[in-house]
Amino acid sequence: MLRSIGKTFYACAYTWSGADRLLPRLAGRQTPFIVCYHRVVENFERSSTGAIPSMLISTRMLERQIDWLAKRFSLRTLDEIGDHLETGVPFEKPAAAVTFDDGYNDAYHHAFPLLKRKGIPAAFFIVTGLVDTGSTQIFDRLYLLLDLLHAHGLPLTSTISGALRSIGVDTTKLDRTSQAEEEPFTVMTEILKTFPRHEIEGAIALLENQVSFRNDLLREMVPLNWDMIETMHRAGMTIGSHTKSHLLLTSEAVEVGQKELVESKQVLEARLKATVNHFAYPDGRFNPSLVEAVSTAGYRFGYTICHMRDPNRPLLTIPRKVFWESTCLNAFGSFSSAVMNCQTHWAFDWKNRCDHDHSAIR
């Protein structure tokens, strides 16, 4: 609570002092502001009972945030943002862009109608291997599983380790590094960073046979289908790649990453009959070799979820900031224009660092 009060006080002081105008570099004005959303739901409280809360925003809060942005920024397409960054020709008014990652179908049902009604462009980054499958992302399944285990009072790390060992996986590294915090999101992140996809899938399948899932939550997590994607594309929305299967490419072999990048681009271009220039890194993770692979695959622009950039490839490491339901709330739980102002100018990110390892990019 004290931290929230301090944050609210700082936001008010920053905004009322006009620091965003006086200190443009500190405020993050080097590039247009790009916001990243994930899932858009009707009821945040209900959906967050089994999904990752920081990936959710309600339609009501999304509209509140977009209305705020539209009053203060010129909301542009990613093509316009990219042209600006390439040429250096300034916009008449500070520019911003709206993006959605992972290709959930609730973006079509809840975000797309709102954007159309307000005449606001946006970009949707698609995991092509999930389109039309009705399958749930591996991290959503894993989080839901861990959340259920946590609710039943079961130790998360040891339970997952046991499932992995039962299918022949060496869990020494997980047992050694994941004991600090038995919390679903933390354990999920450690598992995804530590083990290959096929091993995690095996452990999840084993444990899913032992617990009961809420089917309504699983249905909310299904991906877009091609009809939805093509409809949004025809309406002027930008469609970009988010890989073929949402692998964390910094943990994969170079040839695996290259295949993910190339095949997702080819599939999108064949379906949309248009060039796909934009790529978003899964979980914002990138390093120099991956950035080079994105360039080799033919993308003109790449997007992260932090302020770190590759000085040799700045157009392939364009910063974005992830927003969700609570991003712009004050200490009283209400939407705050001052907090929103600080978020859009990266004013809370004064250390200018990222929790992810971007290797030599520092």
Quote the tokens at residue 26.
């500190």
| Domains and their CATH numbers in the chain | 2-134+225-344 (3.20.20.370), 138-218 (no CATH)
Cβ pair 243, 127 in contact under 8 A: yes
pLDDT value of residue 219: 83
Q: Is the pLDDT of residue 360 over 60?
A: no
Structure tokens at 337: 């224009």
- The model's pLDDT over 201-259, given as tens digits with 9 standing for 90+, comes to 999 999 888 877 777 778 889 999 999 999 999 999 999 999 999 988 888 888 889 99
Question: Running DSSP on this structure, what letter comes out for residue 222?
Answer: P
- State which amino acid sits at residue 3: R
| Res. 355: pLDDT tops 90 | no
Q: In angstroms, rounded to a whole number, what is the distance separating the alpha carbons of residues 38 and 99?
A: 8
Q: What is the pLDDT of residues 62-106, one digit of tens each?
A: 999 999 999 999 999 999 999 999 998 888 889 999 999 999 999
pLDDT tens for each residue of 180-211: 568 899 999 889 888 888 899 999 999 888 87
User: Is it the case that residue 24 has pLDDT exceeding 60?
Assistant: no
State the chain's maximal CA–CA distance in angstroms.
61
